[in-house]
Structure 1
Amino acid sequence: MAQVSKKTIKIKGQLLDLSVPRVMGILNITPDSFYTESRMASINEVMDRAESMQNDGATFIDIGGYSTRPGAAEISAEEEADRVLPVIEALNKNFPDLIISVDTFRSEVARQSVLSGAHVINDVAGGILDNNMFDTVASLGVPYILMHMRGTPQTMSKLTNYDFLVPQVLKELGQKLVNLRQKGVSDVIIDPGFGFAKTTAQNFELMNNLSEFHQLGCPLLVGISRKGMIYNTLGISAKEALTGTTVLNTISLQHGTSIIRVHDVKPAIEAVKLWMATSGVKEKIVI
């Protein structure tokens, strides 16, 4: 049985119940994300995908304007903001019930995104790439997804040396969590960072020990959708990795994960419903 961690977060002025796992749909406003099917170039295309995700049951939509795949090209903060801000504004106008997360490690992009209507900051760098991020999150008063990573998207694949993987990742996240709490950030979601400064074997070690992360006392998010740990292990492509994604999402639910971040919302919702049916969890009303 997974240890129990916090199961509510304050979003849009209300408490969101996470005792029933939620699904976060990925919308990449980039030309070079690792999964080509997730790349979108126009507002109309993004709105169509968002509508489909909402209809399929997504609670969150995660907007990313900077690809963080290994070796991704760098872009300026201005270009990143130009990609995501119009999308955030359009989502708020057309889908007011969706919770909008912005996937950025830059505090200025995070600030502009929240002012444009985003509700959550999803920082893949966990504050290490922008010293102003934690203060910005505290001043904005929005939930913060704290992910574990080392280095940058360009260097992280070379920074996979750990003496003891799980304890070290826990320690590094725990230290940042203390810093966030001291600054007054009350709603933090933990993401162990699958694929970020971890080898395939280390990713599976994290998955096998996922329940350990509940000791941090925060809701847990898992993002393994179509990642290399799946397609490299199976000898397939990212396009063929949906079944593997669903299997690992189900395993993560068994470890007490509260949010699963995916490219494909409907299969994730089905996994949640089947997990609920087998675990005895009763569905509750969302905000």
Structure 2
Amino acid sequence: MPPLNSKDKLFHKKSTLNCCGNILSLSTPQVMGILNITPDSFYAGSRLSSTAEAVARAEAMLTDGADMLDIGGYSSRPGADDVSEQEELDRVVPVIEAIHNALPEAILSIDTFRANVAAAAVHAGAAIVNDISGGNLDEAMFGTVAKLQVPYILMHMRGTPQTMTTLAKYDDVATEVIDELQVQVAKLQRLGVKDIILDPGFGFAKSIEHNFELLRRMDELRILGLPILAGLSRKSMVYKSLGINQADALTGTIAVNTIALMKGADILRVHDVKETKQTIQLYTKTLL
């Protein structure tokens, strides 16, 4: 990994996000609630089939303490079917508009790897772009985010949701993930993107063993001096390791999220907001 430009990055991490004028503090860990506007997301309990249902779920998550909501219309589970750009737009834009109108104080994120979807979502009321591909599936994404000037979640993945399982090959998974993220961070910074959040991409082009190695060494991401998001909620590394199904994976999710907090996670992306807020509340008491 090439050396960083400033030693300061080893010790100081950006602690706020400018979400379209709404300044979000990361002085304590934040919770991102998941809203899947898809019929095939990997966790059936997160699927929403109508705009009204999405608004109701959004309100419930905010009541439970969600700091932001992540809205996606393209399932990124391994082997998921491809969805056209127009269908993705048709799924997410009306939902974002409806939530923004009903809950104008809510900070909304669009979960997409397509620049056009990101732009349409921001114009509809989203204030964060969450890109599972880290800019690798749409060459226009970085320029679009720079123009929009919204926080960008840069996730590590190789290939596509349809091919990523064949690309889970690493000599040193943590080092290679950091190296590949750093290349993309440099591109974004050259374009003037000010708020970048790193996501190591648990479950994306990584085996269960890779995921646990990444979790164990997630604090090494701090070298890049940027906020860190952990997306571990009810993933296969949890339920397959425990020999249970996704519906019973809440306890395991809390366990790995607690480890992520100890390793420096600033944002936890989850299906279960109330339980995660309680976890953070107890975790922060150990920091006093």
Output the TM-score relative to the length of structure 2: 0.95
Q: Aligned pair count? A: 279
Equivalent of 1:53 in 56, 61, 74: 61
Tell me which amino acid in the other structure corresponds to 1:159.
L
Q: Which residue does the alignment assign to 2:38?
A: 30
Q: Which residue does the alignment assign to 1:284?
A: none
Aligned residues of 1:40 and 1:46 also touching (Cα < 8 A): yes
Equivalent of 2:248 in 226, 240, 256: 240
Aligned residues of 1:5 and 1:215 also touching (Cα < 8 A): no
Structure 1 ranges of 4+ moved more than 2 A: none
CA distance in 1, matches of 2:278, 2:12: 23
Q: Which residue does the alignment assign to 2:6?
A: none
List gaps (5 residues or longer) in structure 1: 281-287
Matches within 5 A, 1:40-189: 40-189=48-197
Aligned residues of 1:70 and 1:153 also touching (Cα < 8 A): yes
Task: Give 1:3 shift.
Answer: 5.7
Structure 1, 4-13 or 236-245: larger mean CA deviation: 4-13
CA distance in 1, matches of 2:174, 2:266: 19
Equivalent of 2:223 in 202, 212, 215: 215
Q: Which residue does the alignment assign to 2:198?
A: 190
2:209 corresponds to 1:201: yes
Aligned residues of 2:11 and 2:225 also touching (Cα < 8 A): no
Give the % identical residues.
53
Tell me which amino acid in the other structure corresponds to 1:35.
Y
Task: Give 1:12 shift.
Answer: 2.4
Task: Give 1:11 shift.
Answer: 1.2
For the aligned residue pairs, the C-alpha RMSD in angstroms reads 1.0
CA distance in 1, matches of 2:219, 2:12: 9
CA 1:4–1:234: 2 relative to 1, 3 Å: farther
CA distance in 1, matches of 2:27, 2:21: 19
2:47 corresponds to 1:39: yes
CA distance in 1, matches of 2:284, 2:98: 33
User: Per-residue displacement from partner, 1:154-205 (whole Å, max 9, x unpaired)?
Assistant: 0001101111111110000000000000000010000000000000000000
Structure 1, 43-52 or 134-143: larger mean CA deviation: 43-52
Output the TM-score relative to the length of structure 1: 0.96
SS at match of 1:98: coil
CA distance in 2, matches of 1:217, 1:15: 19
List gaps (5 residues or longer) in structure 2: 1-9
Q: Which residue does the alignment assign to 1:21?
A: 29
Aligned residues of 1:3 and 1:211 also touching (Cα < 8 A): no
Task: Give 1:256 shift.
Answer: 1.6
